[in-house]
Amino acid sequence: MLKATDLTKTYNGVAALDRLNLEVAPGDVFCLLGANGAGKTTTINLFLNFIEPSGGTAQVNGLDVTRQPLETKRWLAYIPEQVMLYRHLTGLENLDYFTALSGTDHYPPDQLRAFFKQVGLQDGVADQRVSTYSKGMRQKVGIAIALAKQAKALLLDEPTSGLDPKASNEFSRLLQRLSGEGVAVLMATHDLFRAKESGTRVGIMNQGQLKQTLTTAEIGHADLERIYLEQMHD
């Protein structure tokens, strides 16, 4: 579903991402781990065609994202690290706007409200202006937007940043459910525990390179942490 082939991005001669080769199949939850500045956000930006690759290709469902920027995005849903919304609109209006522009079927208001419930936002919050929301609440709206898009692939950039532990846990379960439904997930995260819990595979990145890929079912949590720290040493 998601495929990177020798995907490279350099800024002023310095590689932010260095020949990344990666494939995320339907049902896969691939967690990108790595230090700050390792190239995780860069990878996601390349899949979204927000930045031009310096080399290699990123494909979604077999289509090159630079050649078919609009078509490839139809298959994708994206949750950034900081979900930003229109502050003069209510949560519900934001959700309505983003879903309407996603090109999915039009949802009636009660169904939109159901998405709010699903991501753990209390009743009544939906009708408040977003300017009154906390960071975690905005993040939840971002999750609701992604859910409503019913995408075949998710690009998640530290989606649970700012979420309380309960919400984080619910999000992990949500990912498991979506994985069961055949959605491909590429998630950048710093949370080794969650990566092990909800990921099917983890990739450890350092200085723009994907150093090692592991299948979560085959390793314990302690092993993951040890391997990760080893990779960070060089």
Encoded one letter per residue, x for contact with another protein by CB under 8 A and - for no contact, window 131-170 reads: -----------x--x---x-----x---------------
Report the nearest approach of another protein to the CB of residue 221 (Å). Answer: 32
Could you tell me how many residues of this chain bind another protein (CB under 8 A)?
Answer: 32
120 binds ligand ATP (CB under 6 A): no
User: What's the 3-state SS for 208-222?
Assistant: CEEEEEEEHHHCCHH
45 binds Mg ion (CB under 5 A): no
CB 125 within 8 A of CB 141: no
Q: Which residue(s) pair with 32 in the sheet?
A: 188, 203
- Binding range to Mg ion, per CB under 5 A, among 19-27, 33-41, 104-112, 125-133: 33-41
In 54-208, which ranges are E strands? Answer: 55-60, 63-64, 76-79, 153-157, 184-188, 201-206
16 binds ligand ATP (CB under 6 A): yes
CA–CA distance, 107 with 58 (Å, rounded to integer): 31
Residue of 184, 159, 181, 157 lying closest to 170 (CA atoms): 159
**Between 41 and 216, CB nearer to Mg ion:** 41
102 binds another protein (CB under 8 A): yes
**Between 54 and 212, CB nearer to another protein:** 54
What three-state secondary structure class fits 187? Answer: strand
* Residue in the block written with tokens 């040493």: 233
34 binds ligand ATP (CB under 6 A): yes
User: What's the 3-state SS for 128-150?
Assistant: CEHHHCCHHHHHHHHHHHHHHHC
Helices 91-102 and 109-118 sit at what angle, rounded to 10 degrees?
110
Burial environment of residue 58 by CB neighbours within 10 A (0 to 12, 13 to 18, 19 or more): buried
> In this chain, which of 29, 32, 39, 41 binds Mg ion, going by CB under 5 A?
41
- Binding range to Mg ion, per CB under 5 A, among 36-44, 48-56, 57-65, 137-145: 36-44
Report the nearest approach of ligand ATP to the CB of residue 100 (Å). Answer: 30
For residue 38, the partner it binds in another protein, ligand ATP, Mg ion, none, with Cβ less than 5 to 8 A by kind, is ligand ATP
> In this chain, which of 14, 37, 86, 220 binds another protein, going by CB under 8 A?
86
Footprint of Mg ion (CB under 5 A): 41
Instruction: Please give the residue ranges that form the binding site for ligand ATP (CB under 6 A).
Output: 11, 16, 34, 36-42
